[in-house]
Structure 1
Amino acid sequence: MTTHSAVLGAGSWGTTFAKILAEAGNHVTLWARRPEVADAINASHRNEEYLPGIGLPATLTATTDAQEAITGADLVVLAIPSQTLRGQLEGWRAAIDAEATLVSLMKGIELGTTMRMSEVIVEVTGVSQDRVAVVSGPNLAHELADRQPAATVIACTDSGRAKRLQRTTTTPYFRPYTNVDVLGCELGGAVKNVIALACGMAEGMGFGDNTKASLMTRGLAETARLGQALGADPQTFAGLAGLGDLVATCSSPLSRNHSFGVRLGQGASLAEATAATRTAEGVKSCRSILDLAIKAGVDMPLTEQVVRVCHASVLPAVAVKQLMGRETKSETA
């Protein structure tokens, strides 16, 4: 089934998802904030700043006019920084077709409101929840853009809509699975960025695989506890949007959160890490995730220490000492 798709955001993941849609046979318009990015995509079929060395389909066109991209689109895919979603979507909502499916590629929790991205989309646009889908999983953009085989999850409360989107995005290298647990998929995608920061810090401090495996496992436990308190399906966290996304993001140098954490572990300041890596999603979302956990009465010690390192100038070595000095308890408590 061919669709007219608008992808809003020409960063690495937005461009990659636009490429997937185009290679699955869809008409795709990619919105880029900067004219030079749009011009390069249209002229040379490249986005070298975000996907160096990757060719893009000639059927993928770019524009700097978001209204032009959105008008008449069956799919409106949002691939912008999570903390800018509300403001930008307010300016775009009038152009969204009454029957369009809105797809979130974003993995964050909004500061101040502690709302998930699907909740922000529903609140700003007024669409029903069953028109919003979420894509989550081990989605390292450059590997997918290079057509390396991978799986992902498309979550939507309307299983029929999720299946249609599944058919629309399936390629020989990209295998989507469906899920109705939007809440669990979004939590998995947001919290794994925070745990990836912690794993990166551990690597930057010279710690090995035992440390990183421990952080991933206890990070997954934190995510599952929060999910249970909020009503997510526990099985989601053992799947692609939980464990799968966590392992990829915590392990790969292609992960911006992991790379950002490495620099912090090596002694860089937040400003120095930002200048070298660009701001990582987890740096901002860690505060809103911790706020969400406090509201839900859930203990998230790893997240708390990442917040302290990123926003209270606590040294990573001090954070490690705090974590290792916690009272011992049962693993399943």
Structure 2
Amino acid sequence: MRADVQRVTVLGAGSWGTAFAKVLGDAGRDVTMWARREAVAEDIRDRHTNSAYLPGVTLPENVTATSDPAEATKNAEAVVLAVPSQSLRANLTSWRDLLPPEAILVSLAKGVELGTLKRMSEVIGEIVGIDGGEVVVVTGPNLAKEIAAGQPSASVLACADHERAVAVQRACANSYFRPYTNTDVVGCELGGACKNVIALSTGMAAGLGLGTNTMATLITRGLAEMARLGAKLGADPLTFAGLAGVGDLVATCSSPLSRNRTFGERLGRGETLEQAQAAAGGQVAEGVMSCSSIRALAQSLGVDMPITDAMHRVCHEGVDPRQAGAELLGRSRKHEWS
């Protein structure tokens, strides 16, 4: 493993993958992106923009792209996996033999895999044949459009191997992007996955015309759910008070740039899942799938996550958001920290 990472591959050219490629480019790294569609790769390579996902953003000259994954990964010292959580396994399986053996693997995906209930670093470790603790996980308040615009932002790089996290930290730190390291991979990944589900709930509340008190209640009680699940799996409680916990939660739950929040808002206004998906350009928000996998994980561990359960029932069992809200308020009374 190199302490000084210069050549970086970003596999995925969506909004967050593109924004992170820009972060790396602005930090002076040589970045090659892989895009599924050649038209997107050509746009990045020839015009230094990704008009399909981040219109109006100019990418640095040292960021290029290809639609050939073998070309993209050649001689890479770090490989950033920037595809949605539920498609990570299939994509990485096809890329596995292309990954340079000494390259640091970096995950941008936030979710828990359906079926296996594995965190993204665990999925990566299983497929590549390494310890999931060797994967560097990027999380925190990562609204792509704001970061791509150069607005000041901080994130967390979580890895059990601190030296790997430091190497990626050096590679992506620049004048507007401040990365912190953390060794609590479990807590950081759970925070990144769970906040998408809670953002669905705050969006639904907004769609129902509810106000700030309701939003604050959902964010705070959502944080309690995340922390309970994390405690059961051995996460550090302090992680949920940091950028990977409350930081990411507040940003995702409150910003109109959050896909999960805006998706939930459409559901709250009475749109169906299919209508909300169509309005989002055919994309399903991560929280729609993660609410089911996180719910299953919580149930397997005996952890109470009522907001997550409500989001699953709204998204996948046809429960009306108003009914789900009434049921949350009607639950048996309890001590705040029980």
Output the TM-score relative to the length of structure 2.
Answer: 0.97
Residue of structure 2 in register with 1:299 after alignment? 304
Superposed counterparts of 1:227-306, under 5 Å:
227-277=230-280, 278-306=283-311
Gaps of 5+ in 2: none
- State how far apart, in whole Å, the 2-side matches of 1:2 and 1:290 are: 38
Displacement of 1:2 after TM fit?
A: 4.6
Question: 1:2 touches 1:25 (CA, 8 Å); kept in 2?
Answer: no
Residue of structure 2 in register with 1:224 after alignment? 227
Question: 1:224 touches 1:234 (CA, 8 Å); kept in 2?
Answer: yes
Q: Does 1:79 align with 2:82?
A: yes
Residue of structure 1 in register with 2:206 after alignment? 203
- State how far apart, in whole Å, the 2-side matches of 1:240 and 1:20 are: 18
Displacement of 1:240 after TM fit?
A: 0.1
Higher deviation after alignment, 162-171 or 242-251: 162-171
Residue of structure 2 in register with 1:328 after alignment? 333
Residue of structure 1 in register with 2:118 after alignment? 115
Residue of structure 2 in register with 1:16 after alignment? 19
Q: Give CA-to-partner distance per residue, 1:4-39, whole Å, 9 cap, x none.
A: 111011000000001111111111000001111111
SS at match of 1:49: coil
SS at match of 1:193: helix
Displacement of 1:42 after TM fit?
A: 1.3
- State how far apart, in whole Å, the 1-side matches of 2:69 and 2:28 are: 22
Q: Give CA-to-partner distance per residue, 1:86-126, whole Å, 9 cap, x none.
A: 11111111111111110000001100000000000000000
| Percent identity over paired residues | 59
Residue of structure 1 in register with 2:170 after alignment? 167
Q: Does 1:131 align with 2:134?
A: yes
Question: 2:11 touches 2:83 (CA, 8 Å); kept in 1?
Answer: yes
- State how far apart, in whole Å, the 1-side matches of 2:151 and 2:211 are: 27
Question: 1:2 touches 1:27 (CA, 8 Å); kept in 2?
Answer: no
Question: 1:100 touches 1:131 (CA, 8 Å); kept in 2?
Answer: no
Question: 1:4 touches 1:72 (CA, 8 Å); kept in 2?
Answer: yes
- State how far apart, in whole Å, the 2-side matches of 1:150 and 1:325 are: 39
- State how far apart, in whole Å, the 2-side matches of 1:122 and 1:163 are: 20
Q: Does 1:41 align with 2:59?
A: no
- State how far apart, in whole Å, the 2-side matches of 1:72 and 1:228 are: 40
Question: 1:76 touches 1:102 (CA, 8 Å); kept in 2?
Answer: yes
- State how far apart, in whole Å, the 2-side matches of 1:304 and 1:84 are: 23
Output the TM-score relative to the length of structure 1.
Answer: 0.99
Question: 2:5 touches 2:168 (CA, 8 Å); kept in 1?
Answer: no
Gaps of 5+ in 1: none
- State how far apart, in whole Å, the 1-side matches of 2:287 and 2:19 are: 20
Residue of structure 2 in register with 1:316 after alignment? 321
Displacement of 1:130 after TM fit?
A: 3.8
| Amino acid across the alignment from 2:169 | Q
- The structure 1 segments of at least 4 consecutive aligned residues displaced by more than 2 Å after TM superposition are 128-131
| Amino acid across the alignment from 2:302 | G
Question: 2:139 touches 2:189 (CA, 8 Å); kept in 1?
Answer: yes
| Amino acid across the alignment from 1:267 | G
- State how far apart, in whole Å, the 2-side matches of 1:301 and 1:251 are: 20
Higher deviation after alignment, 177-186 or 62-71: 62-71
Higher deviation after alignment, 238-247 or 122-131: 122-131
- State how far apart, in whole Å, the 1-side matches of 2:331 and 2:316 are: 21
